[in-house]
């Protein structure tokens, strides 16, 4: 864990070679993260992340609030700038792998009073295949309807999205990701604040995806369901505490390490750097 740069900021990635050339990463892996560091306002939130996601598994990213779980996903997808590090998908940069990646953002990240129907939102998952300036054809609409049906929302296709319950909105987002027809899915807290029926619907869809050979990476906050729902877990608290099959990694010792009240040396160091950066800006 000491490969990463100690000073965060505008450090260039140590190497530009493909990660698959490194012994610890493989081109078969749908997602390889190497020495990833992310900072918000120069305060580090992710520190030297190294991770290879196994293919065809349901993967949970677990950790306390502010551990950088969502940030990890967003940094992988290029939504937040990386201070350093590399991310590759099947041994390629994100630009070249985009068509194979699907995304379910946090439900709270959008304004649900937007004037569109549930079906319209799901159709957005088809836009990439439709292309610029062309309307949504009947064929794509039918596919979107099918995706809504797979999450049990076929009856709500015409409903304006603000008139859906939180769980139904989450299912609409999931249907939109299904409409993307990706091989690797990133989902940001898909189980947050949903009702029991939605939770069951979502986990059924995730299992169906796995049986189709796809990989799903979920930010997850409910420790009780990790073992039941997921195959693989990444315990995160600014850095990777442990990663691997749930049975091996999801242990009390690791959990204590992840959630433990005491600051680790690294967090303390990071805070010190953050404070220094602050002081530098406002002397």
Q: Which is nearer to another protein, 14 or 130 (CB)?
A: 130
φ, ψ (nearest 5 deg) of residue 225: -100, 0
Which stretches of the chain bind another protein, using CB under 8 A? 41, 74, 77-79, 98-99, 101, 103, 105, 109-111, 114-117, 120-121, 124, 127-128, 130, 132-136, 160, 176, 180, 186, 195-197
Closer residue to another protein (CB): 55 or 77? 77
First to last CA, the chain: 32
Q: How far is CA 64 from CA 58, 118, 189, 256, in A?
A: 20, 32, 13, 11
Q: CA 234, CA 248: separation in Å to the nearest integer?
A: 11
Q: Is 253 helix (H, G, I), strand (E, B) or coil?
A: helix
Q: How many CB atoms lie within 10 A of CB 100?
A: 17
Q: Which of 174, 167, 169, 118 is nearest to 151 (CA)?
A: 174
CB nearer to another protein: give 19 or 172.
Answer: 172
| CB closer to another protein out of 17 and 96 | 96
Give the nearest distance from C-beta 62 to another protein in angstroms: 22
- In terms of CB distance, is 101 or 243 closer to another protein? 101
In the complex, the smallest distance separating the C-beta of residue 40 from another protein, rounded to whole angstroms, is 10
- Residue 33: Cβ within 10 Å count: 24
Q: Could you tell me if 208 and 190 are in contact, meaning their C-beta atoms sit under 8 angstroms apart? A: no
* Least distance (Å) between residue 103 CB and another protein: 4
CB of 201 to another protein, least distance (A): 13
Minimum separation from the CB atom of position 133 to another protein (A): 5
Q: How far is the CB of 23 from another protein (least distance, A)?
A: 30
Q: Which is nearer to another protein, 48 or 88 (CB)?
A: 88
Cα(43)–Cα(201) distance, integer angstroms: 38
């Amino acid at each position: 864990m000491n490969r990463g740069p100690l000073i965060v900021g505008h450090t260039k990635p140590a190497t530009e070679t493909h990660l698959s050339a490194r012994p610890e990463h493989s081109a078969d892996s749908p997602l390889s993260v190497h020495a990833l560091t992310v900072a918000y306002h120069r305060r580090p939130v992710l520190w030297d992340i190294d991770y290879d996601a196994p293919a065809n598994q349901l993967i949970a990213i677990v950790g306390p609030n502010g551990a950088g779980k969502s940030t990890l996903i967003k940094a992988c997808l290029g939504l937040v700038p990386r201070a350093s590090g590399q991310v590759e998908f099947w041994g390629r940069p994100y630009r070249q792998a985009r068509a194979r990646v699907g995304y379910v953002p946090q439900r709270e990240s959008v304004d649900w009073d937007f004037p569109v129907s549930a079906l319209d939102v799901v159709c957005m998952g088809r836009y990439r295949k439709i292309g610029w300036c062309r309307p949504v054809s009947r064929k794509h609409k039918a596919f979107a309807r099918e995706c809504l049906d797979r999450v049990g929302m076929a009856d709500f296709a015409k409903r304006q999205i603000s008139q859906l319950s939180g769980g139904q909105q989450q299912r609409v987002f999931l249907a939109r990701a299904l409409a993307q027809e990706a091989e690797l899915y990133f989902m940001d807290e898909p189980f947050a604040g949903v009702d029991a029926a939605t939770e069951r619907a979502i986990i059924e869809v995730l299992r169906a995806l796995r049986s189709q050979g796809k990989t799903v990476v979920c930010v997850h906050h409910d420790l009780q369901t990790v073992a039941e729902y997921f195959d693989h877990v990444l315990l995160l608290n600014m850095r990777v505490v442990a990663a691997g099959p749930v049975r091996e990694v999801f242990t009390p010792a690791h959990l204590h390490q992840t959630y433990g009240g005491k600051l680790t040396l690294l967090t303390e160091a990071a805070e010190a750097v953050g404070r220094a950066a602050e002081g530098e800006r406002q002397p």
